[in-house]
Amino acid sequence: MKMKLLAFIGLSVILIGTSLFFEGNSKELKENEVQNIKELVQDYSVGNIKNQSASITSHQLIVTESDDNEITYALPDDEFFVSIAPYINETHPCAIHSLTGCTGELTDEEFSVYIEDKEGNEILNQTLKSHANGFIDIWLPRDKTYHVTIEHDGKIAESEISTFEQDNTCIATMQLKETKNS
């Protein structure tokens, strides 16, 4: 009986130790998976991957291969992807961003992008360059509402966006207009 009890305790210690080892590594694996998904999204967005189409919803990256095989990838639980195409004259209606199909008017241009949350906390204040597709890709914390200000060449666009489930990942409604001071 003692031998069975000792064997049971020994096996329990091994199993607990193994699960702690994998649990400790699971955070690292999750961080690597998030980075890999972000890199994959970036590669589609900038056109590094050909012969496939990709779109991105509030929770999934959906890739359609040339043989119509569809693969879905879960997005990070705490981050929301949004792609913004500031424009002056031309835009298109859009809700779910096609990383490989949507095009904006202002390609390879620099924009001053300022984003704050509803409490007035600065989330982003950077000069960002639109991709060859005319979009600026941004990852924001989920389940919040933001005020976005984009400036370019003496023009400004402002909008409120949110990052809740089922919110748009494609923002093609921010028209740059002359500032009142111009």
Q: Which of 84, 45, 78, 43 is nearest to 59 (CA)?
A: 78
Q: What is the pLDDT of residue 31?
A: 60
pTM of the model: 0.80
Q: What is the pLDDT of residue 30?
A: 58
DSSP state of 135: -
* Regions of the chain short of the pLDDT cut 70: 1-32, 181-182
Q: What is the pLDDT of residue 182?
A: 52
Q: What is the pLDDT of residue 181?
A: 62
**For the chain, what's the residue count?**
182
Encode pLDDT of 48-94 as tens digits: 988 789 999 999 999 998 888 999 999 999 999 999 999 999 999 99
Q: What is the pLDDT of residue 66?
A: 82
Phi, psi (degrees; rounded to nearest 5) at 107 = -95, 145
